[in-house]
Amino acid sequence: MSIFYRLYCRVYQRIFKVASYFLNFREPKLLEGLDVLPKFIKDKGFGSVLIVTDDFLHNKAKLIDGLKAGLKEQDINVMVYDKVVPNPTISNIEEGVKCYNEGNCKAIIAVGGGSPMDCAKGIGARIARPNKSIPKMKGLLKVLKKIPTLFAIPTTSGTGSEATVTSVVSNETTHEKYPINDTVLIPSYAVLDPKLTIGLPKHITSTTGMDALTHAVEAYIGSSNTKKTAEMARKAVVLIFENLKKAYDNGEDLTARKNMQLAAFYAGIAFTRAYVGNVHAIAHTLGGFYNAPHGDANAVILPYILEYYGQKAYKKLAELADLVDIKGQTVEEKGKNFILAIRGLNQSMNIPDNVNEIKAIEKAGGVKDQDIPTMVERAFAEANPLYPVPKIMSKKDFTKMYYTIQKK
């Protein structure tokens, strides 16, 4: 990669950081407790709503039965789209749009982890832009029109999607996974209820928690922070180090669950403006090609990328280390020990240390060598010139990293 291209990336990032002050990076209004929502929606005058969720939450866990009953008690018509898959697809979004229109809906309620929320945002974007396809909204500020009021109800503590500008979509035909970024996609309301996370399996608790940590760390070490985003990232890191293992060890620890919900929300506020980095660029390709869950991929990849940044990231990592009482004699030692602490946290929760052991990738027989060139192109295109990372990765760097995270 030439010095001129690196300079172009840095200038682009600086310009976009300045421009971001003129964009509407609002925060969702917080509602505490699912039981308050039906009357709140009634008072807002929405007579028909679309609930976007997945089959497990709707038909097996029965997690939205109470919400549906509460809405119907308020004489609100309820449509449900429950076919969202992990790494939601364009087909999911188009089916949801059809359901929204058939029910003459006026608002959207997303219930679940990042996948239902991403799908709901995509549905909102298509409602706002009925003549614009999802692929044409890929990238930055391609919606630019108000979407229907969106209520986001997280059932995991990781994606932070209830606070972000991003909808990540998979094209099932091309195996491409990419973000749609627009401030209009920030939900109007985030509804936090830790009771919804009580039944989470240990593996989901761990990987979604590490997803939130990845958001906070990537936002903090990047060069597009504001005073607010840095504050939110620091809060998230402290809450995660104090509460994630507690929530993993005891799934019914309501205090730990609540704190993890707050951590994910704070991390979402941080990265929606300060952006993420190369961890996400690579993780998205693994989701697109192998349907690897996003939290799993982020958890595994994060320490490898931080090690790659090295001296460029140690100062910021040392600041985070100080917050969570990780010791070291020098800035470099603290930074390295912070990375070791991330590896230790992964290990303590049985998260593998290479991507080929992620179940979805393992089932596919591991990352295929013939897929790597295309994944490199897509990761490079996602990361550059936008992501304000400590150290810009060339295509050669990305290629080497794909082999490194497999421990090859």
With bands split at pLDDT 50, 70 and 90, how would you rate the model's confidence at 66? very high
Three-state DSSP class for 101? helix
Between CA 37 and CA 107 the distance in angstroms is: 13
Q: How confident is the model at residue 1 (pLDDT cuts 50, 70, 90)?
A: confident
Q: Element (H or E) spanning 112, and its range?
A: strand 107-112
pLDDT average, residue stretch 105-126: 97
Over residues 54-83, mean pLDDT: 96
Q: pTM, whole model, 2 decimals?
A: 0.93
Alpha-carbon span 334 to 338, nearest angstrom = 6
At 79 the three-state DSSP class reads strand
Q: What is the reported pLDDT for 178?
A: 87
Is pLDDT of 50 > 90?
yes
**Distance between CA atoms of residues 379 and 401, nearest Å:** 11
The reported pLDDT for the residue numbered 231 is 98
Q: How confident is the model at residue 69 (pLDDT cuts 50, 70, 90)?
A: very high
Task: Give which of 5, 312, 268 is closest to 161, Cα–Cα.
Answer: 268
Residue 49: predicted pLDDT: 98
Residue-level pLDDT at 324: 98
pLDDT, one tens digit per residue, over 258-283 is: 999 999 999 999 999 999 999 999 99
Q: CB neighbours (10 Å) of residue 6?
A: 15
Coil, strand or helix: which one is 367?
A: coil
Report the pLDDT averaged over residues 356-375.
97
**Model confidence at 246, in pLDDT bands (50, 70, 90)?**
very high
Q: Mean pLDDT throughout 148-165?
A: 96
- Residue 146's pLDDT is what? 97
| pLDDT tens-digit map of 161-211 | 999 999 999 998 888 888 899 999 999 999 999 999 998 999 999 999 999
C-alpha dist (Å) from residue 154 to 57, 220, 403? 12, 23, 34
Q: Could you tell me the sign of the dihedral formed by the alpha carbons of 312, 315, 320, 322, in that order?
A: positive
Averaged over 119-123, what is the pLDDT? Answer: 98
Is the bond into 194 cis (omega within 30 degrees of 0)? no
What's the angle, vertex CA 305, arms to CA 326 and CA 373, rounded to 5? 170
Euclidean distance between the first and final Cα of the chain, in Å? Answer: 24
Tell me the average pLDDT of the chain. 96
Mean pLDDT of the region 286-310: 96
What percent of the chain is modeled with pLDDT above 90? 94
- Domains of the chain as residue ranges with CATH: 29-197 (3.40.50.1970), 201-404 (1.20.1090.10)
pLDDT (tens digit, 9 = 90+) per residue, 74-97? Answer: 999 999 999 999 889 999 999 999
Determine the pLDDT at residue 391. Answer: 97
What does the alpha-carbon distance between residue 299 and residue 212 come to, in Å, rounded to a whole number?
9
- pLDDT higher than 90, residue 104: yes
CA atoms within 13 Å, Cβ hemisphere of 74:
22
Q: Are 118 and 134 in contact (CB under 8 A)?
A: no
Pair of tokens at residue 30: 């917080």
What pLDDT score does 369 carry? 97
CA-based nearest residue to 295, from 201, 404, 379, 376: 201
pLDDT at 87: 87
**Tokens 């295309």 -> residue:** 374
pLDDT average, residue stretch 315-324: 98
